[in-house]
């Protein structure tokens, strides 16, 4: 049975974690389901924005289910669990469409890393964030010391990763990690997502690409995507394709 669901409502796609008995902690199957849903949401032409939510529980996501990785060999843990999860979270971060994480409850470990992979976050007043990995003898593995280092002040990140402290919603708002703190974070996120649908899809996509390139979120791919988009609209590209089809030497117009 699926524990990650995809619901598309007009211009809004919602990916919802649904493992409340384990505080929405990730299993191997859930990671695979998340990856599949991201592909569908990316390819759906009507979708303007993605919401990442979770079934009601004491945590938006408590991280990774220890039963899913506790018995892995060092090689399996590094190769399959850490690198595999990292690839999926990177896929979310590089989605062409904007994404919003709805933190109605605590986001710990992998749950915080999931939220960090979204473009913006909306948080409930009583929710907290934390990186508790050191308490079970591991370190953050799905961008907790990489992407979060670009989004949070270094002392705050160290408070969580080195000292095991939880950070509340107010402090998250103060440093800009969350866009808003609200009693109904889903309603706020849905309003934001509805607004995205009123904007130019290409302008939004390119603006996101430019921002990510500026903060070193897969800069090489972002630069090549922008270059590819520019050349694809050129007369040179049209002439090159047509000349290939006509089996003749191209005469590039230079524009």
Same domain, 170 and 220: no
Q: What pLDDT score was predicted for residue 221?
A: 64
> How do residues 91-139 score in pLDDT, each as one tens digit?
999 999 999 999 999 999 999 999 999 999 999 999 999 999 999 888 8
Q: Are residues 136 and 205 in the same domain?
A: no
Give the pLDDT confidence of 142-180 residue by residue, as tens digits: 888 889 999 999 999 999 999 999 999 999 999 999 999
In a domain, 130, yes or no: yes
Residue 230 pLDDT exceeds 80: no
Q: What's 177's domain CATH number?
A: 3.90.226.10
Q: Answer yes or no: is 226 within a domain.
A: yes
Average pLDDT taken over every residue of the chain: 91
Q: Assess whether 215 and 131 both reside in one domain.
A: no
H/E/C letters for each residue in the chain? CCCEEEEEECCEEEEEECCHHHCCCECHHHHHHHHHHHHHHHHCCCCCEEEEEECCCCEEECCECHHHHCCCCHHHHHHHHHHHHHHHHHHHHCCCCCEEEEECCEEECHHHHHHHHCCEEEECCCCEEECCHHHHCCCCCCCCCCHHHHHCCHHHHHHHHHHCCCEEHHHHHHCCCCCEECCCHHHHHHHHHHHHCCCCHHHHHHHHHHHHHHCCCCHHHHHHHHHHHHHHCCHHHHHHHHHHHHCCCCCCCCC
The model's pTM: 0.89
Q: What is the mean pLDDT of residues 72-92?
A: 86
Query: Which residue numbers are catalytic?
Result: 113, 133
């Amino acid at each position: 049975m699926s524990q990650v669901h995809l619901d598309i409502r007009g211009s809004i796609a919602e990916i919802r974690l649904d493992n409340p008995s384990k505080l929405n902690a990730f299993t191997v199957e859930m990671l695979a389901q998340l990856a599949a849903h991201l592909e569908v949401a990316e390819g759906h032409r009507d979708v303007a924005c993605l919401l990442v939510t979770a079934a009601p529980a004491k945590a938006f996501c408590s991280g990774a289910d220890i039963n899913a990785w506790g018995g892995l060999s060092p090689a399996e843990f590094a190769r399959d669990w850490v690198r595999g999860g990292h690839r999926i979270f990177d896929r979310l971060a590089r989605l062409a469409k904007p994404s919003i994480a709805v933190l109605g409850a605590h986001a710990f470990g992998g749950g915080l890393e999931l939220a960090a992979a979204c473009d913006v976050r909306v948080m409930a007043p009583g929710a907290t964030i934390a990186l508790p990995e050191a308490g079970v003898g591991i370190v953050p593995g799905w961008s907790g010391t990489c992407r979060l280092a670009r989004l949070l002040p270094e002392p705050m990140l160290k408070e969580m990763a080195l000292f095991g402290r939880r950070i509340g919603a107010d402090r998250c708002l103060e440093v800009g990690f969350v866009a808003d703190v609200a009693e109904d974070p889903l309603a706020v996120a849905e309003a934001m997502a509805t607004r995205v649908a009123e904007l130019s899809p290409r302008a939004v996509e390119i603006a996101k690409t430019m921002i990510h390139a500026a903060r070193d979120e897969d800069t090489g791919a972002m630069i090549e995507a922008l270059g590819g988009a520019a050349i694809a609209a050129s007369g040179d590209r049209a002439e090159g394709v047509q000349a290939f089809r006509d089996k003749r030497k191209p005469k590039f117009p230079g524009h």
